[in-house]
Amino acid sequence: MSYHIYNTRGIVLAERPLRDADRIYTIFTRDLGLVRASATGVRKDLSKLRGHIEPFSVADVSLVRGREYWRLTSTELVYDLKTLFDKNHESFLIFAKNLSLLEKLVAGEDKHIKLFDDIISLIKFAAKERVVTIDWEALEILVALKILFNLGYLSEEDIPNKVLGGEPDDEVLSMVLADKKSLIKAINHGIESSQLG
């Protein structure tokens, strides 16, 4: 019996142990949506997957559909947020907090390509060496806005057009700060309408 292997990029949101040496990973993928995937023997020292997939990392993953969970057949680490932001712990905490929001809000295996691309774009922006003085509060607001908007919990009327479109930059962060009070109100409203709040 042959199995179809799906190759996609994913953001690893969480892990939990399964049996002695296995783990279940929650991965937000670009092409398959939110999946739960088992990795056999990943906790063993000789595992080929060990070190290539950790929570709060971005990885290229190969998956096979299983009965209960997807099964990870191979992974290649693209970058680990803990390492990427090793010089700025605050930025890591911002993404960790918002990625846990993402895990709670994304329902099943629906594709959210725009959301995936927006999050990767925000991670790359925050990680650029030239960005020395980001207003971390503005970045946190922007990440939450993008998640809530892309998942339908906020509308275009809730967020200025320049904040929604295009690549993140210092001008966008300044706009977020200038409109901080109403944007935080919109975020709270979006979280309430998601029934998390």
Instruction: Give the pLDDT score at 163.
Output: 84
Instruction: Give the pLDDT score at 49.
Output: 53
**DSSP 8-state secondary structure symbol assigned to residue 4:** P
Please tell me which residue, 10 or 51, carries the higher pLDDT value. Answer: 10
Instruction: Give the pLDDT score at 130.
Output: 47
Strand extents, DSSP E, the chain:
5-18, 22-29, 33-39, 57-65, 70-80
Residues 123-169: pLDDT tens digits? 888 877 545 556 778 888 999 999 999 999 998 888 888 888 778 88
Instruction: Give the pLDDT score at 52.
Output: 58
Instruction: Give the pLDDT score at 197.
Output: 53
Contact 9, 78 (CB under 8 A): yes
Residues 24-80: pLDDT tens digits? 889 999 999 999 998 886 655 545 555 557 888 899 999 998 888 898 888 898 888
Instruction: Give the pLDDT score at 112.
Output: 92
